[in-house]
Amino acid sequence: MNEDSLPADAPDILVVDDTPANLQLLTGMLKERGYKVRPVPSGKLALLAAKNAPPDLILLDINMPELDGYEVCTQLKRDERTRDVPVLFISALNETMDKVLAFGVGGLDYITKPFQFEEVDARVAAHLKLRRLQLDLAVRNRELQRNNEELRRLQELRDNLTQMIVHDLRSPLTGIFGTYELLALEADKLSPEIQKMIELSQGSLDQILSMINSLLDVSKIEAGELQLHRCDCDLVALAREAADMLAGIGGKRRVLIEPESENLRLSIDRDLIFRVLQNLLGNALKFTKPAGEIRVRLERRNDRVRVSVIDNGPGISPEYHRRIFEKFGQVECATTRTGTGLGLTFCRLVIEAHGGAIGVVSAMGKGSTFWFELPDIQ
């Protein structure tokens, strides 16, 4: 086949042999199969040719003067431009071939003389196919790396913008909240309808400020800026306190602490775990039916303490169980819970900062059990 008629993407094979007859025979065989062939008669010329234009594959004779095949292969593997080019050694049947050395210096295979056309064709084709797969994989890996870097950049930009907006929002919202507190002091002078509107507005402001604080806290924890201030604390009493603080929004819903009186003491950051309990209880109260029941079960399990908040709400589909703990994760379903994920993300990060674990057990129509475990550090 005339080399000028070869397609532009024809595989490029470098053939190295100091015996002209062998060089001519291999070159003819490979050209007949549609390959671009570059024959060279020595190791030195092989190194120059390979470095100037790295081929797709190299057929390399072992026994050559000056530089033998082992040394040529060793130098090829030291060069970044040629280290990944597959090398197939050539050796005569009556020659001593150190196969261990051949593979040790980077050779992938070998072909014996006298050449059998079928063997040469099969081995060359197999290694060229493997080489193409490796190159395709390398391209995809580079693309994946670029995509990941771009994604990280965009996530960092989003987080930075979010924090800037949150910081800017907190000041005017705090001012509005203060205004509503002043109005509440004069509530007896206002009509019942206006009093109700003020009460509802204050509740909405509380939710917004809670979300803002959760987002800022999440950012601090992710940046490693939030330090734990551990103290000896009774988890049962802490759970009861969190339930009492939320009693006003529970309506006829009941919160039961199990057990009611047993001391369950741990070394924890009291304020952070208190907020975790508030988040989980507030979440349960929000989705529990009127006159329903929420149970907070606390139990010691070997060297860990497990806290479970159990409700009889609509439940959560299994595909959302992990997503709801992710930052900005949402559950979007008309028959189940929805949310920004900030509160639960805060809970996850706080529990993990304590060396614990958190999760949910739930099914549609069967309620939910949000649980966390803390190590018993004395």
Spell out the domain ranges in the chain.
Answer: 3-115, 153-222, 230-375
pLDDT tens for the chain, 378 residues long, are 555 567 778 899 999 999 899 899 999 989 988 899 999 999 999 999 999 999 999 999 988 888 899 999 999 999 999 999 999 998 875 566 677 888 889 998 888 888 888 888 899 999 999 988 988 898 899 999 999 998 888 877 777 776 677 667 767 777 777 777 777 777 777 788 887 787 777 777 777 777 777 777 777 777 777 788 899 999 999 999 988 887 766 567 888 898 866 778 899 999 999 999 988 998 888 888 777 889 999 998 888 999 999 998 888 888 877 788 876 555 554 344 444 457 888 899 899 999 999 999 988 888 899 999 999 865
> Any idea of the CA torsion for 51, 52, 56, 58, to the nearest 10 degrees?
-60
- Architecture field, domain 3-115: 3-Layer(aba) Sandwich (3.40)
| Residue 206: C-alpha distances to residues 34, 78, 203, 306, 322 (Å) | 75, 65, 5, 29, 27
DSSP 3-state of 275:
helix
Distance from C-alpha of 311 to C-alpha of 293, rounded to nearest angstrom: 7
Cα–Cα distances (Å) from 65 to 33, 68, 352, in that order, read 30, 6, 66
CATH entry, 230-375, from 3.40.50.1820, 3.30.565.10, 3.90.480.10, 3.40.50.1010:
3.30.565.10
Domains 3-115 and 230-375 share a fold: no
Give the CA distances from residue 11 to residues 30, 45, 61, 252, in Å, rounded to whole numbers and listed in that order.
10, 20, 20, 78
Spell out the residues 6+ positions from residue 85 whose beta carbon is closer than 8 angstroms to its own: 50, 54, 55, 56, 57, 58, 76, 131
Q: Is the pTM of this model over 0.75?
A: no
| Tally of CA atoms within 13 A in the half-sphere of 252 that contains its CB | 4
